[in-house]
Chains A and B, each alone.
Chain A
Amino acid sequence: MTDGAVSPTTSGAPTMVQLLDADGVRHEHPEHHADLEPDELLGLLRDLVLLRRFDSEAEALQRTGELGLWVGTRGQEASQIGAARAVRDQDHLFPTYRDHGATLTREVDPLHILSIYRGIDHGGWDPVAHGVHPYTLVIAAQLLPAVGYAMGVQRDGAMGTGDPARDTAVLAYLGDGATSQGEASEALGWAAVYNAPVVFFCQNNQWAISEPVERQARVPLHRRAEGHGMPGVMVDGNDVLAVLSVVRSALDRARAGGGPTFVEAWTYRMGAHTTSDDPTRYRDAVEVEQWREKDPVERLRTYLRAEGVLDDDFEEQLAAESEALAERIRAGVRGMTDPDPVGMFDHAYAEPHAQVEEERDAFLAAWAQHEQDLEQSPAGGGR
């Protein structure tokens, strides 16, 4: 092959775990089986379809001026859902700003996610209640806290006890571009040295905005894990069954005290980096078309149809559910109001704080004065 054996652009076909190929044909794997009940399989399809609908509606809301920005997930549904469905209730997720699949499966209100992109909220859902951290917008910045959380789990003794309801793992999300950040290396080093119960789930969607992955690394990303002292596994990120199975065993290993794992999910960002980006400026339509044929949703649908698990009734129901979701978030977002500015003082500290109280009073006084000035101004002013 002229591609070169160590290029991160090689699909790594021989080593990539795949249970469902692009045509929806099921393959056996010596280690990974993902033997799921029909209900579970349909549940995965439902997750994928709803996530896609959520994403497309959010994009439309951005294009109609209802959101300031949107970070799309199209193409990466199987990676996000597969990983998120591998966790247990007590586990903790550290998502990036693109990992809506992770957040939605942890039952964060979709509108809460969208309020971040409307610019009226910082995503302050209760991370403990949902087991999912707020979105981290700074690339790779979530990884050290994730390792720290995992080390905390370790120190709580919530690891390696053999009690399935107690043993806890952390799932830390990152993208291919994040591997170039120093924090990623630090986090991998710490996790390995301390044997922290954390799984690094790297969605390699091939593009760090406009930078291709071959400008991020000279070796396949998962192989960098070895240098840090942990196993690296590559999985077809558009195969929800394979992702589920690989991440599940990595999490099991972490919970049992076996240490961290780095999972590289080989996937593709079908849309723009964000709604402010124009991918046609840096990537080839042919490449996008090739990945369209590897669509994660269609391959599961094809497989479930072939297996007789999926029927028209379910499809219709799911379509109706998708539209209901879209309508709910459309109405919800349009109905969002700007937050009360005074609210920013409420969450600076968990408990009352004298200095914050003082600042709040000063702010309220300044605001009142401003209002008064506006009224007196002959031009009337505009706010």
Chain B
Amino acid sequence: MPGPQRFALPDVGEGLTEAEIVSWKVQVGDVVAVNDVLVEIETAKSLVELPSPYAGTVEQLLAAEGETVEVGAAIVVVGDGSVTPAPAAAREAAAEEGSGATLVGYGTREATARRRRRGPAAATEPAAATEPAADLTPLEVAVPELSPPPQAGGEETEAQAPDARAAEPAGAVHVLAKPPVRKLARDLGVDLAAARASGPGGTVTRADVLALVPAAPTEPQRRVEEHPRERHVPIRGVRKATAAAMVESAFSAPHVTVFTTVDVTRTMRMVQMLKQDREFEGVRVSPLLLVAKALIVAVQRNPDINSTWDEHNQVIVVKNYVNLGIAVATPRGLLVPNVKDADEMTMKELAVALGTLTATARDGRATPKDLSEGTITITNVGTFGIETGTPILNPGEAAILAVGRIAERPWVHKGKVKKRQTVTLGLSIDHRMLDGESGSRALADIAAVLEDPVRALAWT
């Protein structure tokens, strides 16, 4: 290979003038082949990976992650490996600036760096602590604090910092501070470099930044806490978990919901009969019990709706057991505890289990075991007077049944419009493993059992 090659930032998007270095995929000393990915950049249009046009050894990275670089500026030097990756040679803009080769980030021209650092060298920064863009990589938050004091970064960092100042009067000098502190400083218009570095390892702390703020309208507490016309509720606990679960489900499982309205007059009659049955004395019998039973019968006839999409192992796991989840609104938020092996229970056992489960959950005593390993879920939105809904799947499950309000409505019964008790059911399914057909069949089976509970006897 004919000496070190400089790779200049190309215009990857028809007329772009700059791009931000998001992350380096190589380090100095790495051997790369042609088309190996070197770096990920973000342009005004997209995130793009740049392949290496050269084969060889990475000798220098000339731009730091988070920096914005002009199209045409060299960002990396790839050599034939003969150059030791040590104090590096010339740079595109300021050749005399003797950049430490391990100091990822000393590189782009000052004028092009969007997040440039200014001011005296309060502290230099070891390589690992390259300034993370405050709004980019929260993972790096802890790094500066944990970093060793500046001296540990290597002698060349110490030696080279003044050079950098000399070369660039408005020079780029690193100030150690946690990203939230950097953000605070930016929000308040405080120059970090002007702040006292009283934190561990020479870091600028929140207090140091605030010390430079004139006590006046920009008092940060006001910004953070008081919103006279709004209520800001921290996202945490069940709300946070629910949000994560719903996002995971909604954006990994393509949902399809099918609906049917069914005459449940006979089911409601059966609920009354069971309530009066001596065997069910002291047991809470609700329409939900019969809906649960109907769902279990439907699972037996349509086992596919009781399954899990296992992305990792690339299998659909069809379960021969039913851990029946019930969505419960609790003071803490929505919980979905489940009755284990509900399919093996008698009607009475199921009634007891459902009663216990929902009571436990409402009291905030549901155990992690109660809340995990569900296989299929019922959400009884009818208790809120709602006709039906399009429920989002409990993550890992293939189907969820929404039960609407059971009420007397006009209905054509035996050729005449009669007052009948009806309900609208909505079944959401995961379209990755179930099609409209299987979902519809399952829902039709549930409806058939609820319309005539005798069906359950015929089918089990």
A binds B: yes
Taking Cβ atoms with an 8 Å cutoff, the residues of A that contact B are 1-3, 56-57, 60, 62-66, 68-69, 272, 275-278, 280-281, 284, 286, 330
Of A2, A60, A272, A330, the contact of B436 (CB 8 Å cutoff): A2
Partner of B10, one of A63, A277, A284, A330: A63
Write out the residue numbers on chain B whose beta carbons fall within 8 Å of the beta carbon of A63.
10, 12, 48-51
Q: CA separation between A247 and B217, bound complex, in Å?
A: 73
Known: A275-B13, A276-B13. A64 touches B45 (CB 8 A): no
Given the complex of chains A and B, what is the CA–CA distance between A1 and B258 in angstroms? 9
Query: Are A2 and B258 in contact, CB atoms less than 8 angstroms apart?
Result: yes
Docked complex: B43-57 residues within 8 A CB-CB of A: 45-53
Given contacts A3-B436, A280-B47, contact A68 B256 (CB under 8 A): no
* Residues of the A chain whose Cβ atoms lie less than 8 Å from the Cβ of B11: 65, 68
Q: Which residues of A contact B256 (CB under 8 A)?
A: 2
Q: Does B279 contact A (CB under 8 A)?
A: no
Across the interface, do B12 and A275 meet the contact criterion of CB distance under 8 Å? yes
Tell me if B435 counts as interface (CB < 8 A to partner A): yes
| Closest chain A residue, CB of each to CB of B251 | A284
The answer to the question of B437 belonging to the interface, with a C-beta cut-off of 8 Å to chain A, is yes
Contact of B53 with A64 in the complex, beta carbons under 8 Å: yes
Q: Is the CB of A69 within 8 A of B436?
A: no
Q: Which one of A57, A68, A278, A286 contacts B252 once the chains associate, using CB atoms below 8 Å?
A: A286
List, in ascending order, chain B residues with CB within 8 A of A62's CB: 10, 12
Q: Are B10 and A278 in contact (CB under 8 A)?
A: no
Contacts of A68 in B (CB 8 A): 11, 14
State the B residues within 8 Å of A (CB): 7-14, 34-35, 45-53, 251-252, 254, 256-258, 435-437, 439
Question: Chain B residues near A66 (CB, 8 Å)?
Answer: 10, 53
Interface of A is mostly: loop
Other A-B contacts than A275-B48, A286-B252, 10 sampled, CB-CB below 8 A, are: A2-B258, A3-B436, A56-B35, A60-B53, A64-B51, A65-B8, A66-B53, A272-B46, A276-B13, A280-B46
| CA of A369 to CA of B34, assembled, Å | 43
Interface centre among A62, A64, A278, A280 (most CB of B within 10 A): A64
CA distance A35 to B256 in the complex (A): 40
Contact B436 A64 (CB under 8 A): no
A-B contact pairs, 30 of them (CB 8 A): A1-B436, A1-B437, A2-B436, A2-B439, A3-B436, A56-B35, A57-B35, A60-B51, A62-B10, A63-B12, A64-B51, A64-B52, A65-B9, A65-B11, A65-B12, A68-B11, A68-B14, A69-B14, A272-B46, A275-B12, A275-B48, A276-B13, A276-B46, A278-B45, A278-B47, A280-B47, A284-B251, A286-B251, A286-B252, A286-B254
Rounded to whole Å, the gap between the CB of A66 and the closest CB of chain B is 8
Assembled-state Cα–Cα distance A276/B19 (Å) = 13
In the bound complex, how far is the Cα of B34 from the Cα of A68, in angstroms? 19
Complexed CA–CA distance, A272 and B49 (Å):
13
Q: Who on chain B is nearest to A293 by CB?
A: B314
> What residue in chain A is nearest B72 (Cβ atoms)?
A65
A63, B437: Cα distance in complex, Å: 46
What residues of B have a CB within 8 angstroms of the CB of A330 in the complex?
A: 34
Nearest CB on A from B431, distance (A): 8
A69 to B257, CA, bound (A): 42
User: Cα distance A276–B52 when bound, in Å?
Assistant: 19
What CA separation (Å) do A278 and B14 show in the bound complex?
13
Give CA–CA (A280, B53) in the complex, Å. 25
B45-A277 in contact (CB<8A): yes
Q: 7 nearest interchain CB pairs? A: A65-B10, A278-B46, A1-B436, A64-B53, A2-B436, A276-B13, A60-B51
Residues of chain A within 8 A of B50, CB atoms compared = 63-64
Residues of B within 8 A of A60 (CB): 34-35, 51, 53
CA distance A218 to B436 in the complex (A): 20
Find the residue from A276, A278, A281 having the highest chain B CB count within 10 A.
A276
